[in-house]
Amino acid sequence: MTVLADDPTSAAVLAAMPCYPIPLHGRSPGLDALRVARAGQGVAVGHDGVMLILRRPWLALDVRVAPPIAAYLPYGSVGEPKADLRCGFIPRVYLMSVLDHFRAALPNEAAAFIVWNEKTGEFAVNFPVIEDATPSRLVYRIPTLPPDWHMVCDIHSHGRGSAYFSATDDADDAHATKIALVFGRLDHPDRPAMASRLCDSGMVLPLPRSPFSGGADAA
């Protein structure tokens, strides 16, 4: 029988997206290395489901991508899902500055990015170059980040409109790993409306909690 890793086709597929059977006791050197990797991805197969394991300098994500397999597998458990911010919670002052910027842009839509430096641990707000902005449409350039900086949050406003992810937003978010936030009703006297999600590999996941420090809500 051919050993899987000696089969060039299987080896190429596994190199693109490694697949780890989970031992009964839950750990293996390969899985342990992926879990602590600075950046990497793979799928772990257990008797109780399939977990996508994604690591970015700022994010540690374990998310179930398939239900339990209805067959006997001599495998262990995939464990609990998680979505941990390795960069820590984002100081709320950055959110306040983004919302001030969005209100100043009314009635037009606007955008901002919260970026994080993995060497220094500092956050910063990046306001992109806007090519066209109206109350219902926004065209802007995604910033090219210097080395060590990572986009954590991609935030845009719907001006006075409601907060939701449009079909255009879905297309924009399909190929990035980031937290996406939309704010609406920015003319409202109290807090604006917000929609949030975590994007990865074409998946969109609910955010388990606000990425900002302090308070249970994001705004």
Q: Are 42 and 22 in contact (CB under 8 A)?
A: no
Q: Name the minimum Å distance from CB 127 to Zn ion.
A: 17
Runs of H (alpha helix) within the chain = 8-16, 29-36, 92-105, 167-172
Q: Which of residues 129-168 bind Zn ion (CB under 5 A)?
A: 166
CB of 4 or CB of 139, closer to Zn ion: 139
* Nearest to Zn ion of 63, 195 (CB atom): 195
Q: Which is nearer to Zn ion, 169 or 200 (CB)?
A: 169
Instruction: Report the nearest approach of Zn ion to the CB of residue 91 (Å).
Output: 25
Residue with tokens 């969005």: 102
- # chain residues binding Zn ion, by CB under 5 A: 2
CB-CB contact of 51 with 78 (8 Å): yes
**124 CA to centre of own chain:** 17
Specify the residue, 136 or 213, whose C-beta has the smaller distance to Zn ion: 136
| Torsion-angle region of 49 (φ positive above 0: left; ψ -120 to 50: alpha; else: beta) | left
Q: Using CB under 5 A, which of 117, 140, 157, 169 touches Zn ion? A: 169
- Nearest distance from C-beta of residue 182 to Zn ion, angstroms: 5
Q: Name the residue with the smallest CB distance to Zn ion.
A: 169
Measured distance CA(106)–CA(82) in Å, rounded: 37
Output the smallest distance, CB 211 to Zn ion, in A. Answer: 18
173 lies in the binding site for Zn ion (CB under 5 A): no
Q: Which of positions 28-87 make contact with Zn ion (CB under 5 A)? A: none
CA distances, 160 to each of 10, 77, 133, 145, 150 (Å) = 52, 47, 14, 30, 30
Q: Compute the least distance from the CB of residue 184 to Zn ion, in Å.
A: 9
Among residues 64 and 197, whose Cβ is nearest to Zn ion? 197
- What is the C-alpha to C-alpha distance for residues 9 and 5, in angstroms, rounded to an integer? 9
- Residue whose CB is less far from Zn ion, 154 or 169: 169
**Which residues here bind Zn ion, judged by CB under 5 A?**
166, 169
